[in-house]
Structures are given as structure tokens and as C-alpha cells.
Amino acid sequence: MTADLIRQTGARLGFDRVGIAAAGPIARGDYLRRWLTLGRAGQMAYLYRNLDKRMDPSRMLPGARSIIVVAMSYRPAADQASRDAPTAAEGLGRIARYAWGRDYHEVLRERLRRFVEHLRSEGKEPFDARICVDTAPIVEREIAEAAGIGWIGKNTLVLHERLGSYLFLGEIITTLALEPDGPVANRCGSCTACLDACPTGALVEPHRMDASRCISYLTIEHRGEIPDGFREPIGPWLYGCDVCQVVCPFNRKAPATREPAFAPRPPAPAVPPGQIEQWTLDDYRRATSGRAMRRANLEMLRRNARIVQRNIARDPSP
């Protein structure tokens, strides 16, 4: 089976980028170990588990030789994007773009299953495969960089020169022996826009994040009360944060997603925090059904809403 066939199949299925990496140890395994030792994963205890697989994704599948990596843009159209920046005076809490539409886990898994089916029907060589979308114990951005999908930017996200960083990633770990793609050049240059703009200083240095300080972590992953020092910097962010992506020059002219499943639907892109505080469990279930927002439970969203409401009252300026 050829790499060209794989790229053509991926393009037909709607993926914006398709690349191939050799199945083997990730390039920055030592960095990952140090990052975990420093406690920068916060309460995300799951990141400490299955470390052998995170270091070497080939352990996910016996006989694995290659990893097909796909990327799908979720950048909204310009008219929709303008709606994700409500002013505090409007009394709205923001929701990160990745959670505006249908749960990307479901969208990519469905598409990757079809990808494998097409490869089995079009190729003559039998193979085993394992599909991964975000929740598997692998370091996706490291594999994506190795597959030439993009480079790891200073905001620690995968960046592509034309598509920017609003990218969902997925992988097919396979026993197929495929010609790997080489990495692309890192084009961040001297730009520090993402580091300068981070409200909580989570980007401690280029390509290094302290996740325990990140607004996305605090509003989505952190259980319990959010520490006092981070409540005001959260600003209007009710669920997640897009600041380091909004300021990135590569996102300014990136094309909009072609995937209708990622189109915004209420409560995205923004919602009055008081409305979230009044949600019942049934309201929560209806609003988050089939959505990535289900990652945060009702009590966490209410907690976030209280913080956002106080921040809006404290500073009603745009």
C-alpha cells in the first residue's frame, strides 16, 4: 500500500492533512518525564499512567510499524468567529471554539473507521489497526510533528503554516510498513505573541506549558475550587480558553473548517453565566449531549459561571 493512496483516501474523507510517522519512541520523551516530575500536569493523574505507551506508541498495537496521522480544522467562518469575542459589558461567558459543535471525538472516530475500511477494501495487504482520538495514552502532538502535519508551536499546539492551530488530530496505528513523512520547518521565529498574551502565565517559556496554570485546564480538568490567584485572570472564559490561538499570526488567515458538524450551536459561542448557574441536571444533559462540553460536570460549569460573573461585575469594560 502506498503513502499516496493513503493521502488520497484521507482527502476524500474530508481530512485537511494526512501524514505518516514511523511507529516508535517519541522525540521528546525526556521532556515529558521532566514535565510530569515537575507536577505540571496538575490533577490530570491519568497522564502518569501507561507512561510506556506515551513514550512509545508502537506499544499500543502488537507489530505496529506506522502511524497514519490526520488533522481536521475546526476554525469557524469569519462571521461566526467574530461572535466568540463578546465584551464583558455584554455579560457573556466565552466557550472555547473546539467545543462549539458536535463532539470531535465522535466525528473523527467515525471518519477514521471509514478510513480503515477504505484501506482494507482498496489494498491487497492485510493489516491490523488501532484508531486513536485524544483519549488514548499517546502524545498526539509529538506524533503529528513527526508525521509532518505541522510543527509544535510556542503555545505547545500543532501549527500548520496555512491551516493554523485550530486542528483536531486523530491517529491510525497500523502494522502496515509505510514510508514516513519528514517533519516540517518550525516557523514561529521570534514571535512571542502567545506567551505575552496568556492571562495566567501558563506558557512558562517557548514550547513549555505549565498545564496547572492554564485556563483550559482550570475550567475543564480541575476538580474542586479554583485557587484565588487564578480566578480574576480567567476573565470571561466559562469553558476552555482560546487566547494563545486568537493572537497567533498563523490563525488570522487560516481557512474556515469544511466540516458542518463543527458549526456552533447553543450554548456556544457565548452564554450569560447566570444562565449556567440556573441549569438543572436535565438542562445540563440537554445542552451538553453529544458535545465536548460534557468533559466538565454541572458543578464545575456552575463554579466557572460564578467566577465569570464576578469578573464581569468587577470589570465591565470591553
Whether residue 39 is found in the same domain as residue 137: yes
| Bridge partner residues of 21 (DSSP) | 67
Q: What is the pLDDT of residue 14?
A: 96
Whether residue 24 is found in the same domain as residue 160: yes
217 within a domain of the structure (yes/no)? yes
Residue among 4, 30, 134, 228 flagged as catalytic: 134
**φ and ψ at residue 187, rounded to 5 degrees:** -110, 20
269 within a domain of the structure (yes/no)? yes
Q: What is the pLDDT of residue 318?
A: 46
56 within a domain of the structure (yes/no)? yes
181 within a domain of the structure (yes/no)? no
Domain that holds residue 253: 193-314
Q: What does the block give as the cell for 109? A: 472516530
The model carries a pTM of: 0.94
Total residue count of the chain as it appears in this document: 318
Whether residue 117 is found in the same domain as residue 55: yes
Which stretches in the chain have pLDDT values below 70? 78-89, 315-318
Contact residues for 174 (Cβ-Cβ < 8 A; gap 6+)? 23, 61, 64, 65, 66, 67, 68, 127, 128, 129, 130
- Per-residue H/E/C for the chain: CCHHHHHHHHHHCCCCEEEEEECCCCCCHHHHHHHHHCCCCCCCHHHHCCHHHHHCHHHHCCCCCEEEEEEEECCCCHHHHHHHCCCHHHCCEEECHHHCCCCHHHHHHHHHHHHHHHHHHHCCCCCCEEEECCCCCCCHHHHHHHCCCCEECCCCCEEECCCECCEEEEEEEECCCCCCCCCCCCCCCCCCHHHHHCCCCCEEECCEECHHHCHHHHHHHCCCCCCHHHHCCCCCEEECCCHHHHCCHHHHCCCCCCCHHHCCCCCCCEECHHHHHCCCHHHHHHHHCCCHHHHCCHHHHHHHHHHHHHHHHHCCCC
182 within a domain of the structure (yes/no)? no
86 within a domain of the structure (yes/no)? no
Per the annotation, the verdict on 30 as an active-site residue is no
Whether residue 231 is found in the same domain as residue 118: no
88 within a domain of the structure (yes/no)? no
233 within a domain of the structure (yes/no)? yes
Across all residues in the chain, what is the average pLDDT? 93
In the chain, how many domains are there? Answer: 2
